[in-house]
Amino acid sequence: MNKPKGGFLSITGLREVVSSECLMKIAVHLIVILLAYQYSFNIRPWLNSLTLNNGYPPYPNFISADPFVYWKYATTYGWSEIPLNIFGPVYFAKIFFCNFDAIFIANLAILILSIKCFAQRISQSNYLVLIVLLINPAISSQVFFVNKELYMIISALLFLSTTRTKSWIFAAACLMALFTKIEFLAVVGLWLVLRKQSYLVIVYSLFALIGAISIFYSFIPGMADKESVLTYASKNSQSIGLSSLWQYLATEYHLFFLVIVPRVLQASSAGIVELFRGGISVLKNGWVTVISSFIFTSMLAWIVTLKRKVTAEVIFLSLWFVVSATLPFAIHRYLFPCYPFMYFIILKREQIYEKG
């Protein structure tokens, strides 16, 4: 009997697909196990050691920003006493009664679910996208405790996953956005409006935003406090000179529009710069920022080299770069909300770029 043509090849191809899927599934489980191990034997003991009397204890590796502040307000202040700039993470902690284990499990579960929704939206393997995003320490290192960066990433992933037939995802994205910060809510609101507008309206709106910030830069709420931090840092560090220069130009000469690109580049490459300045010793405590900076700058360079249209994702990146550039100092984590949009552009590029 003659065998059907291509039968062997079809079976082989199926085996390869199943095999690769199994390997990716194993890799995802290993990443989750490593995160659970890190939480159980490094992060959790540190969280349990927090007391109101020891101030800001040294942070362990792989911990998100400002955990002591969130913990203090979540455990000692009432719902109506939380400052506006940290209400999101603190409210999230209060919902789980500031139980460290419950917060870690919830963070990890919600992140994984949002990544799966994102993978389905871009028509990629769930396990492949989980691996690509979770091996980025800028994303995976946020799950151990409440923080704005994680909830901005999750909200962005869900916004990008929204379709007409899955409106519940949009509702979930809006809900997670409530646990972030005012700047993110403002940018998301503006982005939702602008992404449906014409090219000219988008360009004029961006110029108007940049122009308004340039004129009223010194009057941005909280700017005086941030400038005092920058002044203190400049007296105790020689590596803050550029940040001081950008701030001087923006405040004294209303030249904010000229410092947007330098500040974004400075923040995106912060870890790389520290590595060159401090050498290998920087990796002991700052390896998360170093690796994240390499990933971010590589992705940004890749996106810039692509032949692109002005898409919804590009609009958000433009808006967030402008808003993040209002900060007087270069901190890489302020760019974390850009990651979902950058991954979307790269992984889904055949549908949003012109073929050259």
* Tens place of pLDDT per residue across the chain (356 aa): 444 444 444 555 545 555 688 888 999 999 999 999 999 999 999 999 888 776 666 777 677 778 889 999 999 999 999 999 899 999 999 999 999 999 999 999 999 999 999 999 998 889 999 999 999 999 999 999 999 999 999 999 999 999 888 889 999 999 999 999 999 999 999 999 999 999 999 999 999 999 999 999 999 988 877 777 666 666 555 556 788 889 899 999 999 999 999 999 999 998 888 888 777 766 666 788 889 999 999 999 988 887 667 789 999 999 999 999 999 888 899 999 999 999 999 988 554 433 33
Outline where the chain has alpha helix (H). 7-38, 44-48, 67-76, 87-95, 100-121, 126-134, 137-140, 148-161, 167-177, 182-194, 199-216, 223-236, 241-252, 256-268, 270-278, 283-305, 312-324, 338-347, 349-352
- 128-155: string of b/e by CB count within 10 Å (b at 16+)? bbbbbbbebbbbbbbbbbbbbbbbbbbb
Give the whole-angstrom CA distance, residue 143 versus residue 145: 6
With 0-12 / 13-18 / 19 or more C-beta atoms within 10 angstroms meaning exposed / middle / buried, residue 72 is middle
